[in-house]
Structure 1
Amino acid sequence: MGMGNERRLLTLLVCLVLGTGLVAAVLGASRAVGPRPAQAARAGDTVDLRDVPPAPAEPPPGPDASAGTVTVDCGRNQEGHYNEDNLVVSPGLRSGAHHTHAYVGNLSTDAFSTDASLAAAATGCRGGDRSTYYWPVLRRPDRAGTQPHEHSAGHGNSGEILQEAAVTVEFRGNPVGKVVPMPPFLRAVTGDAVAATARTEADVRARWGCSGSPERTTARYPRCPAGDRLTRTLVFPSCWNGLDHDSANHRTHLAFPAANGVCPQGSFAVPQLRITLAYDVPPGAAVAVDSFPEQRHSPKTDHAMFVNAMTEAQMAALVDCLNQGRTCRT
């Protein structure tokens, strides 16, 4: 071997040694700092709620309206029911959500739940409603999580999970007509988990706000005055096609009514589910809703899911309350 070849071989060996050492150092540093922290909200994702105009008033109920309301008392997830599953969108797939969901209602819900297992499980709802209600958690990205479920999601979803200070599960009627019962084990989705990269915002439904100004809501993270709670309100579609308890895209069997409350032709008004979540967040503190990595915790991606596991008697009582215009609590 010539002197030139020996020098080239020696140079190659030195580079390999140095390169290996550099990779090891980088990997060691990555392990030392732990998983990638959650990203804080982008500047355009927040707004001072005082700069948000009041929402238009809802149309007054007509003479045939189902003007009642039913509040279902399911607590605020004191049981600590969290997982990374999504029974509605990814049934049978463990960690199929790629982010963490919080639950109220049915205490057994995970990716492998069935209609039969839901019907037989315990529930956190005082009146015995075994339905499952769930949504992505909200985090403080500036504070490290200490519980196992605060690290399990990955994909940039990390930080302290904010416990809901209050959860309101409410069903409303229809402003122009009576409602019919939901079918057993109806699946429902509201919101768009990929709204930040979607071509349209047609499926963006979540409304954020502050407890002291319920007439003002926004699709962005609100900056609330001191003493106000940050709120998330998720309203579900309430016009059923009369046939299916689910559909291939988990949306076409249910639709939203028009602004005046009229359902699309060929569909039937069912009780409208509205979930309102409230959080104690210090003024100026950053928050981030769990999301897919490419969605970068955009508040527009907020969403929620529901599976109706009420008994026929429970659903009939709910519908009667709405159609009779009463205010009920279960």
Structure 2
Amino acid sequence: MGRNTRKRRTPLATKIVAGAAALAVGGGGLVWANFYASAHEEHSGHNRTRSAAAQVATIDCPDVGQEIRDVPDRARGEVDGELATMNSQITDAYQRLATTRRAQAGDAQFVQNAILGPLKDRRKAIIDRIQLEINRAGGKADDNLDQLAECQGRPADQMQNGEGQNGEGQNQDGDGQDGDGQNQDDNGNGAAGPFADDFVDINDVEPNSRDLENGFAANGDGGSTGSFTAICGVNENNLFNSDNLIVAPGVDNGAHHTHDYVGNQDNNAFSSDEDLANADTSCQNQGDKSTYYWPVLRLQDGTQEFDANDQGGGAEGNVGKILKASQAEIKFVGNRQSDVVAMPKFLRIITGDAKAFTNGVANANSSFSCTGFEDRQVTDKYVLCPEGSQVVRTSNFQSCWDGQNIDSTNHRDHVAFVQRDGSCPNGFQAIPQLQVRLVYDVPAPTVENGQVQNPYAVDGFPEQLHKPITDHNDFINVMDEDLMNKVVDCINRGEDCQ
């Protein structure tokens, strides 16, 4: 039987984060209507114009984990732990940014002196420890990592396409709050987002217009044309946690957002490969103990979920009703140019990027669509579906493997996406491509006058502002040898199996 995996919490840290979130939600500082409207304010007949660019909306930090290479195996655990601490530092700094708006309004140097400067010092200390740990383990640390210590404040005018800056539909009483003190457009999450500009009507998306370098479907008319479907349910056992076994093993709340899990039922930050191999599975084929997990989708409707006061949940801006997928279609397909080879057991793959809003789109991948409109896929917007149509999240995983490693230091280099012609890059061989399609019954949000009411959004790091481009999906292969061989045989023979 499955279980709800709750987070093991540090009391003092929890009080600090939860207190900041409560202050924000209660109107004590994080007021996004005021944040945009204050680009042009009028008080006591005096017209006072402020530069929106001077107002910091979120914190943009270089992703140190993506830049580290060749960490010796015996230093991997320490390095992963340090990187997880660095993520917590960003989260804490964002919470401070979000709850000190009034101080920032009175001091142009507040953000730099009180938030970004100290954050740089703390990140520098961690980078120094990472370099030391790599060198002690016999590796050669990159001396240039120090250049990644400094974070920037991302200004308001870089957030949306002018959304909310003319004050239309917003309260401009100087507080950005309505009569009961609640922010009009934070949707109760304190950390803000998504915004009206994060949504698009599916009818306004051009068919076949998605053009990213990642996420091509590997299968086609040539090569290996079969498939294998894994039937693993939709998380009926309610297995949730905010850990991330791949990126932050051994670190509580390493994801800073809540995940849905199907397949393996013993997946948390402290699970060993042996634990995974011995666990129960929600998959119909009991030989598949793989873990498939993704950020939950929430409706920001004021619902108090089980994690409403927890880290990874409401204390970090991930609020509202968790929407369970009505369908979770998990399929492995072939390669357009060649046969596929077996995945090694415990191979780890992450597709998409939880930090794509600040990292950029290089690793962005997952897309949104609507049933009946799935020739229209969009990566940087949530979709508004017509009545009778459901929201669809799609992820096509990397399907080329380096032939040696089940993971890599940045959790990406050991696998690669197929190229546009369906072939693998030099030095990589084709493996079955995992394709995950999630379908949700989502009440359509209302978007009027630059405001969105009752939006839905993926869980994420708070400083990523619930942007759709941060959607991602994770997989650890724990199929037994017989089943993996069946998967490969079905795909290479052109059969459809389950």
- Give the TM-score category using the shorter length: 0.7 to 0.9
Deviations 1:236-286 (A, max 9, x none): 101000000000000000000111101000100000001111110122351
Partner SS for 1:202: helix
Report if the CA contact (8 A) 2:258-2:295 is conserved.
yes
Greater percentage in helix:
2
Q: Could you tell me how far 1:51 is from its partner in structure 2?
A: 1.0
User: For 1:110, which of 252, 265, 268 is the aligned residue?
Assistant: 268
| Change in CA separation of 1:316 and 1:50 when aligned onto 2, cut-off 3 Å | same
Distance 1:296 1:105 in 2: 29
Q: Could you tell me how far 1:102 is from its partner in structure 2?
A: 0.6
Partner SS for 1:94: coil
Aligned 1:1-330 pairs, distance under 5 A: 30=23, 33=26, 36-37=189-190, 39-55=192-208, 61=220, 63=222, 65-128=223-286, 129-146=288-305, 148-152=306-310, 153=312, 154-198=315-359, 200-219=360-379, 220-284=381-445, 285-329=454-498
Report if the CA contact (8 A) 1:150-1:161 is conserved.
no
Q: Could you tell me how far 1:60 is from its partner in structure 2?
A: 8.1
The count of corresponding residues between Structure 1 and Structure 2 is 300
TM-score scaled to structure 2, two decimals?
A: 0.58
Distance 1:114 1:232 in 2: 29
TM-score scaled to structure 1, two decimals?
A: 0.86
**Larger RCO, structure (CA 8 Å, separation 6 or more):** 1
Report if the CA contact (8 A) 1:151-1:158 is conserved.
no
Q: Could you tell me how far 1:149 is from its partner in structure 2?
A: 3.1
| Change in CA separation of 1:67 and 1:191 when aligned onto 2, cut-off 3 Å | same
Report if the CA contact (8 A) 2:218-2:433 is conserved.
no
| Change in CA separation of 1:69 and 1:203 when aligned onto 2, cut-off 3 Å | same
Where does the alignment leave 5 or more consecutive residues of structure 1 unmatched? 1-25
Q: Could you tell me how far 1:37 is from its partner in structure 2?
A: 4.1
Q: Could you tell me how far 1:142 is from its partner in structure 2?
A: 2.2
One-letter code aligned to 2:365:
R
Distance 1:259 1:174 in 2: 12
Q: Could you tell me how far 1:54 is from its partner in structure 2?
A: 1.3
Distance 2:25 2:356 in 1: 34
**Structure 1 match to 2:85:** none
Partner SS for 2:235: coil
Q: Could you tell me how far 1:294 is from its partner in structure 2?
A: 1.1
Show structure 1 runs of 4+ deviating over 6 A. Answer: 56-60
Distance 1:38 1:279 in 2: 24
Q: Could you tell me how far 1:160 is from its partner in structure 2?
A: 1.0
Distance 2:371 2:334 in 1: 23
Distance 1:59 1:88 in 2: 24
Distance 1:197 1:117 in 2: 35
Q: Could you tell me how far 1:210 is from its partner in structure 2?
A: 0.3
**Structure 2 match to 1:5:** none
**Structure 2 match to 1:14:** none
Distance 1:257 1:190 in 2: 13
Report if the CA contact (8 A) 2:342-2:432 is conserved.
yes
| Change in CA separation of 1:150 and 1:32 when aligned onto 2, cut-off 3 Å | closer
